[in-house]
Amino acid sequence: MTDFFDTVPERIAYEGPASDNPLAFRWYDADRVVAGKRMEDHLRFAVSYWHSFSWDGFDIFGAGTLDRPWLAPTSDPRAAAHRKMDVAFEFLEKLGAPFWCFHDRDLSPELGSFVETSALFDEMVDLAGQHMERTGMRLLWGTANAFSHPRYMAGAASNPDPEVFAYAAAQVCRALEATHRLGGQNYVLWGGREGYETLLNTDMGREQAQLARFLHLVIEHKRSIGFPGMILLEPKPFEPTKHQYDYDVAAVHAFLQRFDLLGEVHVNIEVNHATLSGHDFAHEVAAAFDAGVFGSIDANAGDDRLGWDLDRFPVSVEQMTLGMLEILRGGGFTTGGLNFDAKLRRQSVDRDDLFHAHIGGMDTMARSLLAASALLDGELSTARDARYAGWDSPFGQSIASGEMTLRSLHDQVEAGLEPTPASGRQEALETLVARAIERAS
């Protein structure tokens, strides 16, 4: 094992809310049973390989700032990929998050040809398998990066050129097989450039049909190799493209229905993407459960004043409590989990900053789980049920069952039916949430 993070103990321990140790968990107690399940099994935390190990802090205005020596220009990409993976597993083991996630090109770069690229990729996948065996870490999901290389400038599956579609298919084929080999729980497709910059050169109908064809190919391949996990689409409204087809959960649901993919494809909801699409995180989770497409979560945060995909680590217990409440209401994760699709700020240049970020994110989510589980049954659900009680009455049932016509309802109102206003009790319910957060312990 490397000791890149030499100021960090062998394992981050749970020390409880009274601890002042910044390298300890205050809320995340993996074995603690909450609402009938261990915290670790509720939360299913994953670390994302790309932000933590494959990004040196560069942004569109400036060069990298972070201490990631394996990302320096090199004539030996193989050695650099090995070094990166050794450090990544040192981090995973010390943190104790049970899962990780990767893009194919995070593990090793693109080389001269697809054959050469794939050979190093496969070698790194095998090495990851050995690290996983040694450390007990598991794979939440794998994915293919079909948006960074210039060939994907006009999209991958939605590209006007079928040869680019073929290239993306080759990459996804390989990445799906690698995910399967590593026992991955899910496979994700984020349509990074599956959208458009201008309608002047875009045939939306064709592009969406191409995307659907691509997904059908993925489903067929999943079946043929016996991959048991879920195939997940990750909604995002825009960025880098002006418009992305997987705009939000509702748009993805409509797309899946239109192209006969319902039941085969679920969603990976990212908090910051929800915000960019004009929704609350909790809304996207509730919409996914309602539509039967819930899969997994990319846990992160945006910034109230910046409309970019900032990928901050989650810090708001209130926002996450409302999201966790919808996750619990929906029955929790099956194969999904909480992946920290989150990156450090460029000024967080100390090696242990990566630990502070993840510890803070895990504690935020754990505390939110405690608050949400306290809200799950009790006053909140009683109040919600009471609000719809009229629909359980014989009168409500007669409407819902189709017994009533527009005319018969008209006649009831003409005969004197007058609704009685009922309070929505929003502030009282918000106080219940605030109290659950205060008392979470």
Among 55, 89, 99, 190, binds ligand XUL (CB under 6 A): 190
Q: How far apart, in whole angstroms, are the C-alpha atoms of residue 366 and residue 368?
A: 5
C-beta of 248 vs 270, nearer to Co ion: 270
User: Which residues does 212 contact at the CB level (< 8 Å), separation at least 6?
Assistant: 255, 258, 259, 261
**Cα 249 to the chain's mean position, in Å?**
12
Rule CB under 6 A: say whether 143 interacts with ligand XUL: yes
Among ligand XUL, Co ion, none, the one that 309 touches (CB under a kind-dependent 5 to 8 A) is ligand XUL
Residues 81-100 that bind ligand XUL (CB under 6 A): none
DSSP at 281: H
207 interacts with, out of Co ion, ligand XUL, none, CB within 5 to 8 A per kind = none
Instruction: List the x/- string, 12-51, binding to ligand XUL by CB under 6 A.
Output: ----------------------------------------
Let me know if 304 is a catalytic residue: no
Nearest to 184 by CA among 123, 222, 142, 224: 142
Judged by beta carbon, residue 93 or residue 197, the one nearer ligand XUL is 197
CB nearer to ligand XUL: give 153 or 428. Answer: 153
User: What is the DSSP secondary-structure string of 352-377?
Assistant: THHHHHHHHHHHHHHHHHHHHHHHHS
Near ligand XUL by CB under 6 A: residue from 90, 106, 194, 234: 234
**Do the bridges between strand 195-196 and strand 243-244 make them parallel or antiparallel, or are there none, so unpaired?**
antiparallel
CB of 233 to ligand XUL, least distance (A): 11
Q: How many H-runs (helices) and E-runs (strands) does the chain carry? A: 17, 14
Annotated active-site residue in 103, 131, 180, 283: 103
- In this structure, what token pair is assigned to residue 195? 């959208």
Instruction: Answer for the pair 341, 270: CB distance below 8 angstroms, yes or no.
Output: yes
Taking CB under 5 A as the criterion, which residues in 212-271 touch Co ion? 270
Q: Which is nearer to ligand XUL, 236 or 283 (CB)?
A: 236
User: Which residues in the 287-306 window bind Co ion by CB under 5 A?
Assistant: 298
- Pattern 51-70, ligand XUL, x by CB under 6 A: --------------------
Q: How far is the CB of 161 from ligand XUL (least distance, A)?
A: 22
Residue 295, H or E segment: strand 294-298
The count of residues interacting with ligand XUL (CB under 6 A) is 10
Q: Burial, 113: exposed, middle or buried (Cβ in 10 Å; 0-12, 13-18, 19+)?
A: exposed
For the chain, the helix, strand and coil percentages under 3-state DSSP, each to the nearest 5:
50, 15, 40
Smallest distance, ligand XUL to C-beta of residue 186, A = 12
Q: Report 251-310 residues binding ligand XUL (CB under 6 A).
A: 270, 298, 309
Tell me which amino acid residue 225 is. I
- 410 classed as catalytic: no
**CB of 197 vs ligand XUL, minimal distance in Å:** 17
Q: Give the residue with the Cβ less far from ligand XUL, 96 or 191.
A: 191
Look at residue 326 and give the partner it binds from ligand XUL, Co ion, none, a contact being a CB closer than 5 to 8 Å depending on partner kind: none
Binds 108: which of Co ion, ligand XUL, none (CB < 5-8 Å by kind):
none
Place of tokens 């999209």: 155
Between 194 and 298, name the residue whose CB sits nearer to Co ion.
298
Question: What residue number has its CB nearest to ligand XUL?
Answer: 190
Contacting residues for 76 by C-beta, under 8 A, at least 6 apart: none
Q: Residue 49 or residue 91: which is nearer to ligand XUL going by CB?
A: 49
State the DSSP string of 127-192.
HHHHHHHHH--EEEEEE---SSSGGGTT-STT-SSHHHHHHHHHHHHHHHHHHHHTT-SEEEE--T
The one-character DSSP state at 69 is: G
Binding positions for ligand XUL, rule: CB under 6 A: 103, 143, 188, 190, 234, 236, 270, 298, 309, 341
Residues annotated as catalytic are: 103, 106
Binding positions for Co ion, rule: CB under 5 A: 270, 298, 341
